[in-house]
Amino acid sequence: MRPFLVLAAAGFVATSLSVVAVAQPFEPPTRRSGYWDQTITAQAGGRSRTMTSQFCTDPTVEKQNSVVGAGTGLTCAKREFHRTPTGFSFTTICTVSGMARESRGTVSGDFQSHYHMEVISTASRDPVGERHTSIDSKWLGPCPAGRKPGDMVMPNGMVANISATHH
């Protein structure tokens, strides 16, 4: 199960960071700086996995890896983003791991203390078919000693820094 969790975390990062892009002049919300706890439930191919990880962020990391996809650097053929009464809805088609993946979903919350994301994604060559991901994230406080912005702590304790500037 550990390889799945690491791959799921990597997939979550690619998916959650690429699922939403914003057309100008809209300014996407950013997570409050600090330490976030995120629970990710992924369902695909009749299987369901849940993992919890922690993520340290700051304004620089948010510009690169915002929860709503700003600055991801992925190639996306389609990016639609709309405000809703409770947050945002989105549809994207982006290249992830060499496959065009269509993602659609919603994001709600205040991004200061919590947010919730629901994503459904498909790719034409993906043998698993439709993937459903639910993400619940809550702010825990300032980043703890020893953690720098961009650090993601996986369920097995492994730490990976996804920031281009804080390595």
- Average pLDDT score over the chain: 79
**Greatest extent of the chain over all pairs of C-alpha atoms, in Å:** 44
Domain ranges in the chain?
2-161
Confidence (pLDDT) at 112: 95
Q: Residue 21: count other Cβ atoms within 10 Å of its Cβ.
A: 21
Q: What percent of the chain has pLDDT over 70?
A: 75
Q: How far is CA 149 from the centre of its chain?
A: 16
Runs of H (alpha helix) within the chain? 2-18, 59-65
> Mean pLDDT over residues 131-146, rounded?
96
Task: Decide if 44 contacts 133 (C-beta within 8 A).
Answer: no
Confidence (pLDDT) at 9: 44
> Mean pLDDT over residues 99-123, rounded?
92
Confidence (pLDDT) at 20: 43
With bands split at pLDDT 50, 70 and 90, how would you rate the model's confidence at 132? very high
